[in-house]
Amino acid sequence: MNVFIEVRIIEAIRELLTGRVNEVLGDWKYLIPVFEISDYQGKAMVVPVIVLSSCERTEKERIILLDAYSLTITFNVPETQNSELYCYTYANAICQALQENATLGGVVDKVTICGKKYVPPKRPGCEQDWEVVISLRVTVEETNYAG
């Protein structure tokens, strides 16, 4: 059965977050909540929202048959004394895991980190969450998933 490349990309990102990224987080000296892919709501785990969309291809990408996607990983970090540190730790753990595996295990040709955005609560101490948005650009050669 053929699976759409978009589904394979999202599954590979989920595996990266719950696998290698959680391992990297476990190596830090602080106890940091890990990523979980579920409907869980609480402070013990972080549940990311992964959104994939097509993005504009360059002329070169059209000629050599590369599809390009924009992917965002968004998650909330509950406000605590260490929330800001956690946000940076999560982003760096994701970056490290992607540098080690820029092809997502051969699913894509390349994943590039385009941006990291950290959004603090509107007012400190108001029990709102921090938000982290990691923006990625994913390229896939059309022949890699044509069959």
Contact of 31 with 44, CB cutoff 8 Å = no
- Structurally, the chain folds into a number of domains equal to 1
pLDDT of amino acid 63:
72
For the chain, 147 residues long, the average pLDDT of each consecutive 10-residue run is 79 96 90 83 81 78 79 92 92 97 95 96 81 95 59
Looking at residue 122, which CATH number applies to its domain? 3.30.980.50
pLDDT of amino acid 4:
87
pLDDT of amino acid 147:
44
pLDDT of amino acid 61:
66
User: Measuring CA to CA, which residue among 147, 144, 138, 143 is closest to residue 9?
Assistant: 138
Rg (CA), the chain: 16
pTM of the model: 0.86
In whole angstroms, give the CA distance from residue 46 to residue 25: 12
pLDDT of amino acid 115:
96
In whole angstroms, give the CA distance from residue 84 to residue 129: 10
In whole angstroms, give the CA distance from residue 141 to residue 33: 35
Residue 57 structural domain: 5-144
pLDDT of amino acid 43:
67
In whole angstroms, give the CA distance from residue 26 to residue 35: 11
In three-state form (DSSP H/G/I as H, E/B as E, the rest C), the secondary structure along the chain is CCCCHHHHHHHHHHHHHHHHHHHHHHCCCCCCCEECCCCCCCCCEECCEEEEEECCCCHHHHHCCEEEEEEEEEEEECCCCCHHHHHHHHHHHHHHHHHHCCCCCCCCCEEEEEEEEEECCCCCCCCCCEEEEEEEEEEEEHHHCCC
